[in-house]
Amino acid sequence: MEVTSDFYNLVEETSSKLYIKALKDLPPDVRIGLKAAYERETSTTGLQILNTMLENVKIADSQTRLICQDTGIPIYFVKVGDKLRLSMCQLEEAIVKGTARATTEHPFRSSVVSPLKRQNNQNSTGYRIPVIHYQFVKDSEDLEILMVPKGSGSENMSFLKMLIPADGLRGVKRHILETIIGMGANPCPPYTVGIGLGGTSDLCMKLAKIASTTRELDSKNSDPEMAELEQELLEAINSLKIGPMGLGGVNTAMAVHIEHAYTHITQNPVGINIQCWPARRARAILKANGNIEYGY
Ligand code: SF4
């Protein structure tokens, strides 16, 4: 189906709304995860921290405020139905404009700067930002946009290690746990650990990002072996007792998600990306006829 010029206006409007929604409205699965963490917590300090987080979410709801001051780097995961006839350049332009509009019209802090001069355009955009990932979907007329504001405390805790096959699964687990210990409180626990296994160096890190930011908290990998590894790592990470905001307790991670790809015969890459406790995301599905469904 051929889209009209109105469709790009709709993409711009939707991208803007999604950024604001993601900053203010915590997904239901994350709210459930935080409450479950509170129920499980045994440390007094851990309970106080989790209680503060739950209060924070309540205040953000009642006063329509941002959940966290860190407005993050804007990331969009876009799924394009192969039956939509559209200009990818105009689509991208609309998402960039929507990002800028959200920032200046709301308004909220632009957290995006150039790497050398640290120049801030004050609209959350810049060269190659927002980050936009595309995926194409067979037999679909829909355009799905998932918006993720990625805070720096968790994004700074991103690591790639090119292990070798001889390191085996034991080496992979060891590396993940050692890296988590080194992170301490930095990624604002209790967090979601995203693990990328396999691929090339760049694909491995992208898989880790998909794992940490796009899935519902209680989702399991569809491959039973991967799902088992997710559970084993979750238990091992929580046994470290880093706890909420690193002040001790049984809730360091609310979830471990793994995404994988085949890799080279001589490689064994492991990517780690963390999503902090307010695992913010907002989703919209745009139909070619202009209807929109909002979700998370
Ligand atoms: S890492 Fe997350 S929780 Fe921590 S300051 Fe940034 S957005 Fe907020």
Strand partners, 194: 257, 273
What is the bridge-based pairing of β-strands 73-81 and 131-137? Answer: parallel
Determine the pLDDT at residue 288: 78
Q: How far apart are CA 114 and CA 109, in angstroms?
A: 15
Q: Is 227 exposed, middle or buried (0-12, 13-18, 19+ CB in 10 A)?
A: middle
Of ligand 1's atoms, which has the minimum distance to the CA of residue 155? 1
Q: By the 8 A CB rule, do 18 and 283 touch? A: yes
% the chain with pLDDT above 90: 97
Strands (E), 58-214: 73-81, 131-137, 143-150, 159-163, 191-199
Ligand 1 pocket mutation, candidates 34, 52, 152, 213, criterion most atoms within 8 A of CB: 152
Quick one: which H or E segment has residue 45?
helix 44-62
* Residues at CB less than 6 angstroms from ligand 1: 68, 70, 72, 151-154, 188, 276-278
**Local confidence pLDDT in tens for the 296 residues of the chain:** 888 889 999 999 999 999 999 999 999 999 999 999 999 999 999 999 999 999 999 999 999 999 999 999 999 999 999 999 999 999 999 999 999 999 999 999 999 999 999 999 999 999 999 999 999 999 999 999 999 999 999 999 999 999 999 999 999 999 999 999 999 999 999 999 999 999 999 999 999 999 999 999 999 999 999 999 999 999 999 999 999 999 999 999 999 999 999 999 999 999 999 999 999 999 999 987 889 999 99
CA 151 to ligand 1 center in whole angstroms: 5
Given a contact cutoff of 8 angstroms between Cβ atoms, the answer to whether 287 and 225 are in contact is no
Interval 89-127: pLDDT, tens: 999 999 999 999 999 999 999 999 999 999 999 999 999
Write down the pLDDT at residue 4: 84
Return the pLDDT at 105: 97
Q: What ranges do the domains of the chain cover?
A: 5-23+67-151+280-295, 153-275
Report CA dihedral (118, 121, 122, 125) to the nearest 10 degrees: -100
Q: Bridge partners of 160?
A: 271
The answer to whether the pTM exceeds 0.85 is: yes
For residue 33, which amino acid is it?
Answer: G
pLDDT in tens, 55-77: 999 999 999 999 999 999 999 99
CATH number of 5-23+67-151+280-295: 3.30.360
Ramachandran area for residue 245 (φ above 0: left; ψ -120 to 50: alpha; else beta): left
The 10 Å Cβ neighbour count of residue 101 is 19
Q: How far is the CA of 70 from the centre of ligand 1 (A)?
A: 6
- Cα–ligand 1 centroid distance for 144 (angstroms): 26
Say what the pLDDT of residue 39 is: 98
